[in-house]
Structure 1
Amino acid sequence: MRAVAVVGNPKPASRTADAAQRLAVALGADEVELIDLIDLGAGLIGWGDERVKAAVAQVQASDLAIFASPTFKATYTGLLKLFLDQFATATGLEGVVAVPLMLGAGPAHALAPDLLLKPVLVELGAITPAPGLYQLDSAYIDDPKAAEYAARWSPVIAAITAL
């Protein structure tokens, strides 16, 4: 399964990027391509930037897309929102299995991936067969929730991506 990790952290090479790549591997990805949105810079603000178009096409060609963001002001970052705006509503992520992943400082925002990010992915046409995953950014490496999540949902994601 070919996966892409789309990371909306304004810090390059972030813990969010690492967590997204780890999750993709745990879910069965053979290869994980990283789209660190901060690298696309001002191209995300307008329309027609070639690097942004290539990133959109990369996501659309993947079997699995992990959409990852740190929790900023109780939601995902504006950087991720700018990228998601590049996709056509209802069809932009058609056929792509998507998993929302958010990292935060405390458990107060644990529902953010499902309440805030997942509905946007569904609106763009993504297949979202699993709940989102929220992890503490200070403990994501050793967090058993990621392994439990992968054990529960990787068979579902593998079955859907094989269709």
Structure 2
Amino acid sequence: MSSVLVISGSPANPSRTEKLGEHVSGELTASGHEVEHLRVRALPADSLLGADFDDPAIRAAVAQVETADGVVLATPTYKAAYSGLLKAFLDLLPQFGFAGKAVLPLATGGSVAHVLSIDYALRPVAHSLGARHVVQSFFLLDEHLAVVGEDLEVHPDSTKPLADVIEQFDKALDGVPHDTALGRTA
């Protein structure tokens, strides 16, 4: 199976977005993929913001992206865009840092007014980094995510759509054409 890197771009701890990344990690692991979870907020702030490519933690994080077959981007929505923390990390990647990879963009936010932030902000960045395939993105309202103990509970209105995009991503990792991943055939 494929290797996947989940990148959580939330500066908060605890974070529903980070828990969403853990949830997706669990689903992909159950499908047989090797999954690692990179929490950008755990990287050294001075090195991240100062673009210190010599910092061992920064080099290791960039290497995780390089070796992954697929990347899940999980971000909270701030000011109608993905987090600045995630932006700072993505800026450290080479111009085609996602070349050959499948990418699943996920965002959380407090209002449906931010739902297009994925398609107008995060998706274009994934494409510009050379992703082989960016699957259907998904936006989850904060009110649809509850952290109970160590677990994430997803509201029933978001459970099926989230499972669908995870399935699309799973199939994209294996090279199945997008139409097939959506249950249609050519």
Same fold flag (TM > 0.5)? yes
1:35 matched to 2:38? yes
- Give the corresponding residue for 2:117: 112
What are the superposed Cα offsets for residues 71-121 of structure 1, whole Å, 9 maximum, x if unpaired? Answer: 0011011100100110122x2221222111110112111121121101111
1:44 matched to 2:45? no
| Aligned CA distance change for structure 1 residues 69 and 129 (closer, same or farther; 3 Å) | closer
- Give the corresponding residue for 2:163: 147
Instruction: Indicate the structure (1 or 2) with the bigger Cα radius of gyration.
Output: 2
Q: Which has the higher contact order (CA 8 A, sep 6+)?
A: 1
1:65 matched to 2:81? no
Alignment of 1:1-163 (within 5 A): 1-27=2-28, 28=31, 30-40=33-43, 41-46=45-50, 47-48=52-53, 49-89=55-95, 91-140=96-145, 141-142=154-155, 143-144=158-159, 145-159=161-175
Q: Describe the SS at the equivalent of 2:132.
A: coil
Determine if contact 1:9/1:38 at 8 Å carries over to the other structure: yes
Name the stretch that deviates more: 22-31 or 79-88. 22-31
Question: How many corresponding residue pairs?
Answer: 159
Of Structure 1 and Structure 2, the greater strand share is in: 2
| Aligned CA distance change for structure 1 residues 13 and 30 (closer, same or farther; 3 Å) | farther
Tell me the distance in 2 between the aligned counterparts of 1:19 and 1:157.
19
Segments of 5+ residues of structure 1 without an aligned counterpart are none
Q: Describe the SS at the equivalent of 1:44.
A: helix
Tell me the distance in 2 between the aligned counterparts of 1:153 and 1:39.
26
Tell me the distance in 1 between the aligned counterparts of 2:165 and 2:73.
16
| Aligned CA distance change for structure 1 residues 153 and 2 (closer, same or farther; 3 Å) | closer
Q: TM-score, normalised by structure 1?
A: 0.86
The alignment-based identity, stated in percent, is 32
RMSD value, Cα: 1.9
Q: TM-score, normalised by structure 2?
A: 0.77
Q: Describe the SS at the equivalent of 2:92.
A: coil
Determine if contact 1:67/1:101 at 8 Å carries over to the other structure: yes
Name the stretch that deviates more: 144-153 or 115-124. 144-153
Tell me the distance in 2 between the aligned counterparts of 1:92 and 1:147.
27
Tell me the distance in 1 between the aligned counterparts of 2:165 and 2:124.
20
Name the stretch that deviates more: 61-70 or 41-50. 41-50
What are the superposed Cα offsets for residues 98-151 of structure 1, whole Å, 9 maximum, x if unpaired? Answer: 111110112111121121101111111122341211111221423222023234
